[in-house]
Amino acid sequence: MLLFHSLKASCHLSSKAFLRSRIISSGVIGKMSCSSWNYVDQESWCHLPNSQSNGLNQSPIDIPTKDTKESPEISPLILKGYEQKLKGTWTRTSHSLRFDPSGPAPSIVTYGGAYILRQFHFHWGDQPGCGSEHLVDGSSYDAELHFVHEKESPTSNVPNAPDQFAVLGVLLKRSKGQGGGEVWEALKNVPQVDKKIEIEVTPSQLLPANKSYWHYGGSLTTPPCSEVVQWFVFHQILSVPDDVVQRWSTLPSESPLPFNYRKVQELNGRKVWLLKDSN
């Protein structure tokens, strides 16, 4: 299939330029409650309760591939239950589209321990080539999928432990045309805001065949932006049917959501590690 080219970091402009461009293009100013947060005014996130959005270990980042290094301390991911059909609720929140398992959930094992899948959700943009939260050498993609896992046996009782969550990030490119298989057909059916529908998906269909990844310690990308996440961003880019993303970003609603990605954050001296999958 023909794919849209990824764009450079113009999708993630400087703070003032980012906000100005989105205020003009989104038309959502004035439709957001002042007591809630939104993607247009990201600079105000730091004023929200318990916010860590001004911290030094924030996500997403622009992954500098030439500076990434392999480490003997990290290991291939072990995925359990991802090949099985999974029932759950598919919800359109004010900020994303989210799937929550309703039965026994898949799990992963990282070099840091075992984690249970709690939910997965998507981020997208309002123009081709914009929508992914992470960049790779300055290049943005059309969307990004996050599988959010919580640690089974916390290694610390300290609140906001840096390994509380492990998130798998999958970068997505829009593909021309419609279709794309049963998983995308299921995810194309979107309920109204804050309503749920029951769907069934096979999570492995949303993961790349090659499991090479970049790894770093960071944060949630939505408020309160807690610095509690071990990130694993896959190298391989997956295709998402263009009509699926188009439907997500243009659904009629009192709370339109044309885009929902956070601008990239500074590395602040953090290391980004590399693991190559031999498959």
Q: Mind listing the pLDDT tens digit for each residue in 154-173?
A: 665 556 789 999 999 999 99
130 with 25: CB under 8 angstroms?
Answer: no
Instruction: Delimit the domains of the chain by residue range.
Output: 9-275
Amino acid at 254: E
Please report, for the chain, how many H helices and E strands are present, in that order: 3, 15
Token pair 């402009």 is at which residue?
A: 13
Cβ-proximal residues to 165 (8 Å cutoff; 6+ apart), any chain: 115, 148, 149, 150, 151, 220, 228, 229, 230
22, pLDDT greater than 80: no
Q: What is the mean pLDDT of residues 190-218?
A: 93
pLDDT at 252: 65
pLDDT at 182: 87
Strand partners, 140: 7
165 with 151: CB under 8 angstroms?
Answer: yes
76, pLDDT greater than 70: yes
Q: What is the mean pLDDT of residues 58-73?
A: 96
Q: Give the global pTM.
A: 0.88
The catalytically annotated residue of 5, 12, 47, 95 is: 95
pLDDT at 140: 97
Q: Mind listing the pLDDT tens digit for each residue in 108-135?
A: 999 999 999 999 999 999 888 999 999 9
Which is it for strands 143-151 and 165-175: parallel, antiparallel or unpaired? antiparallel
pLDDT at 264: 98
201, pLDDT greater than 50: yes
Strand partners, 174: 240
Q: Any idea what DSSP says for residue 167?
A: E
Which is it for strands 135-136 and 107-110: parallel, antiparallel or unpaired? unpaired
184, pLDDT greater than 50: yes
Strand partners, 172: 143, 238
The Cα-based distances of 174 to 51, 67, 132, 264 in angstroms read: 33, 28, 11, 21
pLDDT at 8: 46
Amino acid at 108: I
Token pair 């929200």 is at which residue?
A: 48
pLDDT at 13: 56
Start-end of H helices in the chain: 15-26, 182-188, 242-250
Q: Mind listing the pLDDT tens digit for each residue in 229-273?
A: 999 999 999 999 998 988 888 876 666 789 999 999 999 999 999
Which is it for strands 78-80 and 113-124: parallel, antiparallel or unpaired? unpaired
Query: What is the C-alpha to C-alpha distance for residues 101 and 89, in angstroms, rounded to an integer?
Result: 7
Query: What is the C-alpha to C-alpha distance for residues 268 and 158, in angstroms, rounded to an integer?
Result: 24
Respond yes or no: is residue 5 known to be catalytic. Answer: no
**Residue of 116, 247, 227 lying closest to 178 (CA atoms):** 247
CATH number of 9-275: 3.10.200.10
pLDDT at 33: 37
Q: What is the mean pLDDT of residues 50-76?
A: 96
Confidence band of 28 (pLDDT split at 50, 70, 90):
very low
Q: What share of the chain is helix, strand, coil (3-state, %, to 5)?
A: 15, 30, 55
